Chain A
Amino acid sequence: EAGVTQFPSHSVIEKGQTVTLRCDPISGHDNLYWYRRVMGKEIKFLLHFVKESKQDESGMPNNRFLAERTGGTYSTLKVQPAELEDSGVYFCASSQRLALSTDTQYFGPGTRLTVL
């Protein structure tokens, strides 16, 4: 069974440009999460989808970030326009979430974003 996949693995863009990150969750996982780790900090939650609906987007830093999950399969995270402080590693995770106490989130390899 394939794990969570993310594309691209690395992205280098200039300030003001747009970047779109993609995540493909494990097949059959309705729950999809985005996290990010900026330099020197801990991994922080961005948002959570249940199928195509945003369940919790309280971690999104500002309106330059737009996440979508059309059709409830893969998800995209767009940053527009990118700023220097957006540099970091963006992780995607998915889970089945049958019960909160036992739910395990499975993480992808991450996309390393560098904004110059």
Chain B
Amino acid sequence: KQEVTQIPAALSVPEGENLVLNCSFTDSAIYNLQWFRQDPGKGLTSLLLIQSSQREQTSGRLNASLDKSSGRSTLYIAASQPGDSATYLCAVRPAETSGSRLTFGEGTQLTVNP
């Protein structure tokens, strides 16, 4: 059974700092991995999707890496801003099922202080 863990559960940093969020998963048989952002009371916004054959994806100040063999992904946020404050969720699409489901971690709650 696939399990996803995110560390840390919460993170508070000053504005301008570069930071790394971690995600680990127990089964390397995945189709892809997605990073999402959730603002309070809002839905999930997809940030980056990394296919199982890829090593990283970049979008603006965000860079996500994937090491499938070790079951790890990181989300790097450069030059953090107060507007980056949100909960960041990691989800994998396991190949063990029909490919329907995403399996989520519990998230990292990020606060960027001005």
Contacts and interface: CB of A to CB of B under 8 A. Distances in A.
Interface of A: 3-4, 33, 35, 41-45, 48, 55-56, 58-59, 91, 93, 100-110
Residue of B32, B91, B100, B106 with most partner-chain A CB within 10 A: B100
Given A56-B97, A100-B93, A105 B104 contact: no
B4 to A, nearest CB: 7
A86 B51 CA distance: 34
B34 interface: yes
A41 B97 contact: no
Give chain A's interface secondary structure class. loop
Nearest to A37: B104
Contacts, number: 67
A103 B93 CA distance: 10
13 contacts: A33-B101, A41-B106, A42-B107, A43-B102, A58-B97, A91-B44, A100-B32, A101-B51, A104-B46, A106-B46, A107-B36, A107-B45, A110-B43
Interface of B: 4, 31-32, 34, 36, 41-46, 49, 51-53, 89, 91, 93, 97-107
Nearest to B6: A42
A45 B52 CA distance: 21
Residue of A43, A59, A104 with most partner-chain B CB within 10 A: A43
Given A93-B44, A100-B99, A107-B45, 10 more contacts: A33-B102, A42-B4, A42-B107, A56-B100, A59-B101, A91-B43, A103-B32, A104-B46, A107-B36, A109-B41
Nearest to A41: B106
Given A101-B53, A109-B43, A48 B104 contact: no
Contacts of B43: 3-4, 91, 107-110
A56 B32 contact: no
A88 B41 CA distance: 12
B51 A102 contact: yes
A91 B101 CA distance: 13
Contacts of B103: 45
Residue of A41, A105, A109 with most partner-chain B CB within 10 A: A105
Contact of B89 (A43, A101, A109): A43
